[in-house]
Structure 1
Amino acid sequence: MIRYLFIITGISWLLLLAGCKEKSPEQQAVARVGNEEIRFADFLYDFTVFPQYRGTLTLREARLQHLNQMADRALLYLAAEEDGLENTPEIQSRLRYIEHKEVLKRLYQKEVLDKIPVSEEEAWEEYKRSSIRVKLRHLFAPSREEAEIYYRRLQSGESFEKLARETFLDSALANSGGDLGFVSISDLDPFLADSVYNLRIGQISHPLKSSFGYHIMRVEDVQQSVFLSREYFTEHKEDFTNTLKTRRARVKSAEYLAEKLKGKSVTIKTAVLRELLDFSKGYINLRRQETPLPAPRVTDLELENITGNAGELLDRALVEFNGERWRVGEFLHKLQEMPPLHRPSISTESALARHLIDMVRDELLLREAYRQGVQNDRELRETLGRWRKQLLADEFKKRIYWVDYQQEDPEKWQARKTLYQDLKNRTLVSIDTTLLFHDVTGTQLQQKIPALPAVIREYYVW
């Protein structure tokens, strides 16, 4: 049976939403899937940040296509609810991981970002800086030690072109000598922007740490726009303010960490760490550890093989802090709980040691956050609710479409397929096209918008 999408406009929608007149358009439901509502504000955020449409469409077509996909996701979530998927240990573990990460983000917002003042003049200077574009060439390494080796080789006369062929798996970067072309200063990783901004043409940076690893940058050329608009600045002032806050937060967060972690020590058992590294090298793809592209450093299968064959090594203490200890087995379990893209590189001793220290730091900060009651923040609870629905929808979709689940338990797989089909047949899906297009003109709706490349939709992807 085909599930119809009912388009509701004008008076019929007003009747359906009787009693909601006091809500702003952003808070009204632009679609309903059974008892689930999709608010216009949520649609607009999703459409802007995670575009799901493909091909060159009109704005009208793209919005409708995207909202249909959001409705499909809501239906998968409802099916997961009926199935009781949330009650499985695997999903509970993932929901805990998401909550812990989001609580830490909220603590960072509360204790660091919210306490950084930015004046309008400073935001204007940031806008001026964002008008600068630099032509960059770069090299990448997953660890500081490897980056330092590349830096010394450059200083001794070796070329970017030669080292890029050794560094990058991506053929375009390897063949172009790490050429990134012209990029805006404001588009760079905040941890790189300041350093690149201060480089002269032809100057090579020392190894710079980003959220991916370590980079060596060389500025080839600089362009700066001479047209600065007060109107544009006013419209995007918050963006420039947040960018500036993010850069300043490096100092502020260091001060906060020093205060909160004062007197707390971490001891890494170096011999055990080395033994774990040596043992793991027989099970992981070391070459994949070197790519800056979004790819898991350690896959689920690799972790299973390491854990299943490590024997007595699992019971040995790997790190100690404040009278507590994590054994190797506990550490590997923590890695298994992480989304693959969050897992650390375990190609070098220093990289893994730094990650262990970061994990202990996050554990201590998490306890501080719960002590403060950060987990009760209203906006945080709303965010966690959205991630919960996203996770359940994604996981249920896997369980009805992935062959692995069919082979693992054919009876359970068929039951879920039947549940989902029954739910599709009996669930009314409706959208309000008047609300969906209320913020744009008819001319804008007919304009073609460019096709976009596929994006990594979720930050938490297992």
Structure 2
Amino acid sequence: MIKQYRTVFKFICIFLLLISHTFQSQQLALPKEVLAEVGTTKINTTDFVTRYSEYILASGIKDNIVTRRAILNNMINETLLRQYDDNKKIFDNPEYKKELKWAEKQTVLAFLKDRDIYAKMKVTEAELRDAFYKTNLKISARHLFAETEEEAKSLYQLLQTGQDFSTLAKQVFTDSTLRNNGGYLGFFSWGDMDPTFEDAAYSLKPGEISKPVKTQFGYSVIKVEERVPNPLLTETEFLKNKKHIERTVRMRKRGIAEAEFVSKYFNAGKVTVDEKILSKTLDNLSYSTADLVESAPKELTSGVLVRYQNRVYSQKDILQRINAIPFFHREKISSVKALEATIKGLVLQDILFGLAEKKGYTKSEEVLATIEKYNSNIFLKYKRAEVAEAKTFPESDVRKFYDDNPAYFKNEDQINIQEIIVSRKTFADTLLEKIKSGSDFGNLAFMYSKRSWSAKNKGVMGFADLSKFGGLKDTLSKSEVGNIIGPVKIQDMFGIFKVLGKKTGAIKKFDEVKNLAEKLLRKEKSKPIMEEYITGLRQKTIVKWDDNQLSLLTVN
């Protein structure tokens, strides 16, 4: 979990380095064990050395007096913000409390992974030498992509019966390059691609074709074209790169090791969910995405929503658990599928947290220290937002920001397309050939498209914001008027699209976006806003530090 800790320290220190300014307080000789005093609060030498050492380790910066002063200044600023200012609004904020609890649980779970998974992973000499060889072996390959295993198996069978990659690539890829080059990926090295994709590719000889390979994106059928090894590999080079290779191998083994560990305690396929109660639960999530104010839930449905082994959860239990999740995670639960995945994640979390408790990890000094650092991090985030929110600007400043940054206030670009939606890809391919042969797109849409309201209009959708087209928006935005796109798989259907027209979004009027402009201006001015605020706190609080003692400290 060292990497996790370094990230916390680095974030906190960098955040406060942004608001650091030169010392304007009293430089005085203090007791040896005290490096600075903020009001009646003492910053001990040992606390500074710990903080500074961790920052040096995480950032890679060499020890120097300027950075020492900056880190001490950060610690003084933190003390001023937390102990010498009114923070009641933050401490009473329900979302702040949720983030603290969430960080606490995630830290315990990260420690469990570190101790029970990562620390026990072994990397053999044979694995290191194999990885060294692969890093010096370039492979060129082509592939066919499918979203489901069934589709991938079908592609594999077609290849076995004599179909070629060039023909099939035109059917499965929407990317014009892959469509036209037979799915050719060019040369790549070990570490460039998805690990499971690479493992399969590196196991093939030139000309061999893999069975369907499951990757993080879907399924691929792979054909290796060439293997080009580095002919001059030496033992000296292996030893020189051994530590780096070991880190890489460990990172690649993490996912497999985690899955093996989790499988000992949890099987997602055995979680039973009442579909009727689940569908009602999504509508009953007791929060508002607009203002984060929790509202009274609708009438709850009785009965068991989720069951796993001896664990039982009602709808009320699940709603309470979800509402305890921080908003930035909670807002992603926008579908029944996402809700079900979240519920299974919560069940797994309960199991692993219970395991960590039995092992005593929740009381580990290392865990408690990290939780405290996360708490500080979260507090600073909320404090910065509170200070920025309280700052107001003259309307002339806001208008100047608006005038200087028109891209921020532009209406979204719009596009008008025609569509044909059908249920079978083979039929979509047939229609596409008809269009290429001169058949009228609109007439085909009228006769065959499954979406009745657009079919009546010969497939014409009318102008709409690009964002409404989801995963297609980038492809559509890059396409010229008149271009044909597809067939594209959309859930269980296949679509063919024609770009009819485009509109560039106009700049919104100032009065429409005045509040947004002021919010963005606050963000741009966050550093001077915070500097001004801390200067005000320093003027009300006596701050002392010993610069001579700071420079003489021994830091390992």
Q: Which bin holds the TM-score, normalised by the shorter protein?
A: 0.5 to 0.7
Match of 1:325 in 2: 313
Q: Which structure has more RCO (C-alpha within 8 Å, separation ≥ 6)? A: 1
Following TM superposition, by how much is the alpha carbon of 1:328 offset from its aligned partner in structure 2, in angstroms? Answer: 6.7
Question: Which of 348, 361, 364 is residue 361 of structure 1 equivalent to?
Answer: 348
* Paired amino acid for 1:337: I
* Paired amino acid for 1:334: I
1:265/1:129 Cα in 2 relative to 1: closer, same or farther (>3 Å)? same
Q: Within 5 Å, which residues of 2 pair with 1:197-346?
A: 197-198=202-203, 203=209, 206=212, 208-210=214-216, 214=218, 216=220, 218=222, 224-226=229-231, 228=233, 230=235, 233-234=238-239, 237-248=242-253, 252-261=257-266, 266-274=271-279, 301=289, 311-312=298-299, 317-321=304-308, 322-327=310-315, 330-331=318-319, 334=322, 337-338=325-326, 340=328
Following TM superposition, by how much is the alpha carbon of 1:192 offset from its aligned partner in structure 2, in angstroms? Answer: 5.0
CA distance in 2, matches of 1:405, 1:313: 44
Question: Which of 123, 126, 129 is residue 134 of structure 2 equivalent to?
Answer: 129
1:165 and 2:174 are equivalent in the alignment:
yes
Give per-residue Cα distances to partners, 1:55-83, cap 9 Å, x unaligned.
xxxx99xx999999988976774455234
1:364/1:348 Cα in 2 relative to 1: closer, same or farther (>3 Å)? same
1:115 and 2:120 are equivalent in the alignment:
yes
Question: Which of 385, 391, 402 is residue 378 of structure 2 equivalent to?
Answer: 391
Give the paired residue count. Answer: 370
CA distance in 2, matches of 1:139, 1:300: 43
Following TM superposition, by how much is the alpha carbon of 1:175 offset from its aligned partner in structure 2, in angstroms? Answer: 11
Question: Which of 79, 92, 115 is residue 97 of structure 2 equivalent to?
Answer: 92
1:119/1:81 Cα in 2 relative to 1: closer, same or farther (>3 Å)? same
CA distance in 2, matches of 1:111, 1:5: 45
Do the aligned residues in 2 keep the contact of 1:36 with 1:74 (CA within 8 Å)?
no
Match of 1:186 in 2: 191
Q: Secondary structure, in 3 states, of the residue corresponding to 1:320?
A: strand
Do the aligned residues in 2 keep the contact of 1:112 with 1:252 (CA within 8 Å)?
yes
Give per-residue Cα distances to partners, 1:391-422, cap 9 Å, x unaligned.
22223222223589999xxxxx9x99975342
Give per-residue Cα distances to partners, 1:279-322, cap 9 Å, x unaligned.
69xx9xxxxxxxxxxxxxxx9838969x8698346777532232
Identity %: 19
Give per-residue Cα distances to partners, 1:131-161, cap 9 Å, x unaligned.
34556778989xxxx4447646855687556
1:376 and 2:363 are equivalent in the alignment:
yes
What TM-score, normalized by structure 1, do the two folds share?
0.56
Bigger drift between 360-369 and 332-341 goes to: 332-341
CA distance in 1, matches of 2:71, 2:226: 43
CA distance in 1, matches of 2:280, 2:200: 37
Q: Secondary structure, in 3 states, of the residue corresponding to 1:186?
A: coil
Question: Which of 530, 536, 555 is residue 422 of structure 1 equivalent to?
Answer: 536
Do the aligned residues in 2 keep the contact of 1:137 with 1:179 (CA within 8 Å)?
yes
CA distance in 2, matches of 1:103, 1:4: 36
* Paired amino acid for 1:273: L
* Paired amino acid for 1:360: V
Do the aligned residues in 1 keep the contact of 2:281 with 2:315 (CA within 8 Å)?
no
CA distance in 1, matches of 2:199, 2:82: 47
1:240/1:420 Cα in 2 relative to 1: closer, same or farther (>3 Å)? same
Following TM superposition, by how much is the alpha carbon of 1:106 offset from its aligned partner in structure 2, in angstroms? Answer: 1.9
Match of 1:105 in 2: 110
Q: Secondary structure, in 3 states, of the residue corresponding to 1:185?
A: coil
Do the aligned residues in 1 keep the contact of 2:136 with 2:229 (CA within 8 Å)?
yes
Task: List runs of 5+ in structure 1 lacking aligned partners.
Answer: 7-11, 21-31, 49-58, 284-298, 408-412, 440-462
Give per-residue Cα distances to partners, 1:153-181, cap 9 Å, x unaligned.
85568755665538xxxx99999999876
**Higher Rg of the two aligned structures:** 2
What TM-score, normalized by structure 2, do the two folds share?
0.48
1:421/1:4 Cα in 2 relative to 1: closer, same or farther (>3 Å)? closer
CA distance in 1, matches of 2:334, 2:182: 26
Task: List runs of 5+ in structure 2 lacking aligned partners.
Answer: 1-18, 35-44, 394-514, 516-525
CA distance in 1, matches of 2:538, 2:94: 27
1:41/1:348 Cα in 2 relative to 1: closer, same or farther (>3 Å)? same
CA distance in 1, matches of 2:65, 2:227: 41
Q: CA RMSD in A?
A: 5.9
* Paired amino acid for 1:270: E
CA distance in 1, matches of 2:271, 2:189: 39
* Paired amino acid for 2:55: D
1:124/1:319 Cα in 2 relative to 1: closer, same or farther (>3 Å)? same
